[in-house]
Amino acid sequence: MITADAIVAQIQEVLEQLQPYFMMHGGHITFERFDPTDGTVYVALTGSCDGCPSSGYTLSLLVEAELKKEVPQVLRVVASGLREEDED
């Protein structure tokens, strides 16, 4: 069985690989925590990504898709401060 620490390490590795994409757009993505009970990864978007109208799409189409592919325990990605209506 994989430990929570190992899952977090995998998540952080994937986010590090995605970081250049965010930096190209003047922003950053930072891992906050992983909730193993529901498979949710919490991240913070900063710089130009904070409040960007496209951030919800970026989270679902890029970050969430990549994390789900690489870390099967991840079921969802949520950004701190992202309103529910921004996620759709």
Query: Could you read off the pLDDT tens digit of each residue along the chain, which spans 88 residues?
Result: 889 999 999 999 999 999 998 888 888 999 999 999 999 999 998 877 666 777 777 777 889 999 999 999 999 999 876 444 344 4
Task: Tell me the CATH number of domain 4-87, given options 3.30.300.130, 3.40.50.1010, 3.30.70.270, 3.20.20.70.
Answer: 3.30.300.130
Indicate whether this model's pTM tops 0.85: no
**Where exactly are the structural domains of the chain?**
4-87
The pLDDT score that the predictor gives to residue 88 is 41
The C-alpha angle 56, 37, 45, rounded to 5 degrees, equals 25
Euclidean distance between CA atoms 38 and 42, whole angstroms: 12
CA distance 58 to 87: 10
